[in-house]
Amino acid sequence: MKAQQVGSCGHDGGCISAKDAVTGGTWFYQAPSSYLGDQSSAYGQYLVYDLMTTASSNPFEEFDVVLSGDGLVVAYDGAPTPPANRWTTYQVKLDEMGGWRLLASERQRWSSSFATAAAPTRSQFKANLSNLTRLRIRGEFQTGEDSGSLDNVSFGVMP
């Protein structure tokens, strides 16, 4: 799945969009290198972004945001499914109290045990941010064909 920049969508005249090829698995937007590296200054602030999907009548559970860094993988699953064909803004707190859970690996899939998985400690979350190697935001919410768009991503901001 490769997202493409579209000049006619979004709040300010541009966004990135992708169409689900329905090949299995869940697709995510992956942040460019400018969002990676030492992001320790983002601790305690927010990841803010806008999403839109073309379909949400047959949703499924999955992580909404995944951060990988310093040998740790933390995931957030708390954002409601966006309604079809309408931009929705999400604000995710970047600290151990924000609903994040530790994953065994980046390949771990969502399961009902996610809610009871261990939360990262303060030092683990800070270590993750201090050497961030991957930031993914969920783009697919529908079982079956759909398209998604992402806009206005801000990492380490106060809303």
Q: What is the CATH number of the domain that holds 127?
A: 2.60.120
Q: Which two structure tokens, joined as six digits, stand for 1? A: 């799945």
Residue 113 near residue 100 (C-beta atoms within 8 A): no
- pLDDT band per the 50, 70, 90 thresholds, residue 8: low
As a whole number of angstroms, the distance between CA 130 and CA 17 comes to 29
Q: Is 100 helix (H, G, I), strand (E, B) or coil?
A: strand
Q: How confident is the model over 82-93, as a mean pLDDT?
A: 94
Q: Is 6 helix (H, G, I), strand (E, B) or coil?
A: strand
Query: For 39-59, how does the pLDDT look when each residue is reduced to its tens digit (9 = 90+)?
Result: 999 999 999 999 999 988 888
Name the DSSP class of 148: E
Looking at every residue in the chain, the average pLDDT score rounds to: 89
Closest CA to 29 of 125, 136, 114: 136
pLDDT > 90: percent of the chain: 60
What is the model's pLDDT at position 109?
A: 78
- CA torsion 82-138-75-39 (nearest 10°) is -110
**Number of domains, the chain:** 1
Supply the range of the domain harboring residue 79.
4-157
Q: Is the pLDDT of residue 4 over 80?
A: no
Query: For 16-38, how does the pLDDT look when each residue is reduced to its tens digit (9 = 90+)?
Result: 888 887 777 788 999 999 999 99
Q: Is the pLDDT of residue 3 over 60?
A: no
Name the DSSP class of 108: P
